[in-house]
Amino acid sequence: MRRTSAPLAVTLALIAVLVTGGTAVAGPGAVDRPPAARDVMFVGNNWDGTATVVDARTHRTVRTIDTIPDRAQRMAEIVGRPDKLAFYLAIQAAIGEGRAQYTDDMFTTHDGRLLAVSRPSFADVVGIDLATGKIRWRFPMEGYRSDHMGVSPDGSRLLVSDSTANKVHELDIRTGRKTGEFASGDTPHENNYTADGERVFHASIGRVYTPTDRPVLRQPYDTLKGERVFQIVRTDDMSIESRWDMGKELEEAGYPGMASAVRPMAVAPDERFVYLQVSFFHGWIEFDTQAADPAVTYEGEPTVGKVTRVVELPKRTTEPRERYVLDSAHHGLAINPAGTTLCAAGTMDGYAAVIDRETEEFDLVEVGDKPYWSTNGVFGDECWVSVSGQDEVVVIDYATAREIARIPVGDHPQRVRAGVVAERIFRTWH
């Protein structure tokens, strides 16, 4: 295993860069369905500040939830604090493509009564009562932006990435009370619990808004991107069990010049193999978290963890990499519960790829402009892909690699998550 020192706290230099803009858990998508609850999918409309609720069986839109009912209060706080205002404007200019980011990630409690939502531009997480639409609790970040979340298999713990504080907070999902934290690299990103809830697969993506996007520039100016690590964290004491720099792992595997930033990931059912997307790469990577690599040693012992496959998918975009959305060639990766098929969102290429994990054969599904996330449907036989440039979600059948539904949603859908809504609440929505 490889370990590195804990990341440094964000500095004032980061504020300057931001303000100027810089010249799967085993059975992913599955939710334990309690009695008297409806299976739904939540679609976070990032620029709208809403979440669209879709019936998981019929693919029909059920409800649109306001995720920023406290907008006036939050904006008053931001305007009254120069540091918060600077970051609010920086997020809008450098990360939000000119728009504020109001809805990122979402998870429901297992009883289907509360929805937790991370809100990047407001730098917080809130618990929204699904019956009333009111905010039941709010947890502000230590830094200036919130991002991806993760929920424990038992539904009790919520993880949220604190983008500029370089850490991940653990919360009680019902109360919003903090119960723990762990250190990350720069810009902590995705969080995936193992099936037993004892570990978390986590990645940080670094400063994806900086202009040093080409290898010739990244090498001498790599510090501008910050520390980017893929790590496994133990949940009992929040200690880092293993940590890797994926760029170095790729170089050791014979692929020099690739980025270290791990984007979305998909954890295989055996929780040994992890499938990764990295910045600027049109394809996917297989990483064996348990393989011993005798060619590379740490303190005299063989290191653990090894890149075992690097697979390219068709590159269609003609845009220069400086115009990639936050360095994302592809952003969105899911694996079906059987562990046989991957579903990748080809962000800059306008397709979703349905991939045989063993043979690497794939089918491309034309979904439209800027697909930005992929996840399993509630029942595991579908892949749901958000198409952020067209304000739609496309549902793809894993078995046939065919589109089976196209659902209009709100402005700039990104994260899509499986969830449940209590039956008595669901009935009042009709």
Torsion of CA 44, 57, 284, 43, to 10 degrees: 0
Share of the chain above pLDDT 90, in %: 75
- 55-69, 77-91, 122-136: segment of lowest average pLDDT: 77-91
Range of the domain at 155: 33-428
Q: 397 lies in a domain? A: yes
Residue-wise pLDDT for 357-404, tens only, equals 999 999 999 999 999 999 999 999 999 999 999 999 999 999 999 999
Q: Which tokens hold the place of 328?
A: 């994302």
- Environment class of residue 239 by beta-carbon count within 10 Å: exposed (0-12), middle (13-18) or buried (19+)? exposed
Contact indicator for 403, 396 with CB cutoff of 8 Å: yes
Per DSSP, 87 falls in state H
CB burial readout 271-285, b (16+ within 10 A) else e: bebbbbbbbbbbbbb
Q: 18 lies in a domain? A: no
Which band of pLDDT confidence, cut at 50, 70 and 90, is reported for residue 33? low
CATH of the domain at 155: 2.130.10.10
In the chain, the number of structural domains is: 1
**Rounded average pLDDT over 420-428:** 96
Q: 150 lies in a domain? A: yes
Q: Which tokens hold the place of 53?
A: 């609720």
Amino acid at 226: G
Q: 7 lies in a domain? A: no
Residue 192 has pLDDT above 50, yes or no: yes
Q: 6 lies in a domain? A: no
Q: 297 lies in a domain? A: yes
Residues 6+ away with beta carbon under 8 Å from 211? 22, 23, 217, 322
Q: pTM for the whole thing?
A: 0.88
- 74-88, 90-104, 302-316, 379-393: segment of lowest average pLDDT: 90-104
Residue-wise pLDDT for 23-32, tens only, equals 333 344 455 5
Residue-wise pLDDT for 137-189, tens only, equals 999 999 999 999 999 999 999 999 999 999 999 999 999 999 999 999 989 99
Q: 21 lies in a domain? A: no
Q: 252 lies in a domain? A: yes
